Amino acid sequence: MEKALQELKKLLGEVMDLQGAAAVLNWDQQTFMPSGGAETRGEQLGTLAKITHDKATSPRIGELLEKLTAVGYTDPDSDDARLVRNGLKDFTKASKVPSSWVAEFAQVTAVGQEAWEKSREGSDFSKFQPHLEKIVRLRQQYAEYFKPYDHVYDPLLDDFEPGLKTREVQAIFTGLRDEQVNLIKAISSRPQVDDAFLKRQYKEEKQKAFGEDVITRFGYDWNCGRQDKAAHPFTTSFGLGDVRITTRYLEDDGASGLFSSMHEAGHAMYEQGISPTIKRTPMFTGASSAIHESQSRMWENLVGRSHEFWTFYYPKFQAAFPENLANVSLDTFYKGINKVQPSFIRVEADEATYNLHVMLRLEIEIALLEGSILVKDLPAFWNHKMQEYLGITPKNDTKGVLQDVHWSAGLIGYFPTYALGNLISLQLWEKINADIPSLPDQIRSGNFAELLDWLRKKVHTHGAKFEPQDLVQRVTGSKITPEPYIRYLKKKYSEIYGF
């Protein structure tokens, strides 16, 4: 059986190599590629996607997985046992999808991303509309390959959250929404905190230097990564030793670029911490998008927006921007970066309103897949839902329906993972603080080593060996639940707003 296992690893390694090559092309498209290259890049990515899919669903891989599945592994959680178990599930799912669909989807989304960027720049949804119509049609078609299903959204959600069902997410969100709406009402009854000092001019080069210092201290390994600018910040991994991040800077917002860098560094440090023993296998990635988001949101919010963090870093931030912050106290600054106010842009949203942005998108995605709304009606529907969820209406498409890159990339099914990641981050955080009682003092002194080491051992090293619910239960003793997150929000914001 050892010979069969080594052959399987070799074939899967080749699949991972092809996926890494495609990731390089995707990264280049969003960072340095000239706009005129979109159509050609789409053809290249389409070809690569077809070759990768054909190889991943080859009869030989199926034969090897079937043969190895019959083996009784002494340790069902060993790398080899999990490789076979997870590999069979991936193979079975991928085999239901024709390679022709995979190639078309890659080509359509590559061109669609370029169209989205241009539409976003001009705040004109009509230019992106035909591309999104193709993408929605392809995602509906994708779901059809997995009939019978409980819900049309299930096959897409499973791509990002293996094993999770739409009904489970909706049940979690139903209770969470009521709690967050009540919290926002309580906050709105109190005097608003001041954040005007953040809306002054902050030079990009100073923002960049400060952000790089922060994520270096967090533990981001620059020998195995780099940071560039992109229209929509993202993280990408090309494999062992090369995990890259992007960010964006707003010169009239002193915190946006910093928190973006923290967020993406959280993703990247996860990928940098996966055990090398599972390199060039499908397990050499995060357990799920929500587990990934738990890492990025933890470093961005639970660390980066904490009073402890700024006890250490605020004097340095003041020194970098004395013209803006010389007369702003630490407590005023802390309250300002945690200001709660309904806003148009998801990635700029505060912790109390962020999940409502996600719930809005989930409702829209389900409606698109079910056909209860059409793409052409999306701007008006989006604005209606923004008013319903957050009490505000975008003045243009850039601040509304065109703000996220996800739909142009075909990532319908991804958005719920952002809110789920918030919930998981607090489940982990409560466990971390129980295991490391001195953590607040460590953060006050700018020491993040023990926190990162805990995450490495409990979460990062496993990669995608375990499904998300399984991993969360192994680490925290409970499946995904909103209670720790609700406790955190109530405590934090009652202290800031005094209710």
Active site members: 264
> Rounded to an integer, what distance in angstroms lies between the CA atom of residue 349 and that of residue 340?
8
Around Cβ 104, how many Cβ atoms within 10 Å? 17
Tokens describing residue 115: 């169209």
> Rounded to an integer, what distance in angstroms lies between the CA atom of residue 281 and that of residue 288?
15
Nearest to 337 by CA among 206, 196, 443, 195: 195
Around Cβ 34, how many Cβ atoms within 10 Å? 7
Distance of CA 138 to the CA centre of its chain: 22
Nearest to 26 by CA among 44, 50, 1: 44
E strand residue ranges, 362-468: none
Instruction: Look up tokens 């239901």; give the residue.
Output: 96
Tokens describing residue 416: 């719920």
Nearest to 458 by CA among 487, 485, 436, 489: 436
Let me know: does 162 contact 288? Beta carbons within 8 Å.
Answer: yes
The reply to whether omega before 148 is within 30° of 0 (cis) is: yes
**Alpha-helix runs per DSSP H in 189-281:** 204-218, 256-272
Sign of CA dihedral 189, 195, 199, 204: negative
Please tell me what DSSP assigns to residue 31. Answer: H
Beta bridge partners of 246: 228
Distance of CA 186 to the CA centre of its chain: 29
Residues with Cβ within 8 Å of residue 3, at least 6 apart in sequence: none
Three-state SS at 227:
strand
Three-state SS at 1:
coil
Write b or e for each residue in 216-235: b if 16 or more Cβ atoms lie within 10 A of its Cβ, otherwise e: eebbbeeeebebeebebbbb
Tokens describing residue 94: 């991928």
**Alpha-helix runs per DSSP H in 123-203:** 125-144, 154-160, 166-188
Let me know: does 337 contact 328? Beta carbons within 8 Å.
Answer: no
> Rounded to an integer, what distance in angstroms lies between the CA atom of residue 47 and that of residue 18?
11
- Measured at the CA of 85, the angle between CA 477 and CA 148, to 5 degrees, comes to 90
Torsion of CA 407, 356, 196, 267, to 10 degrees: -60
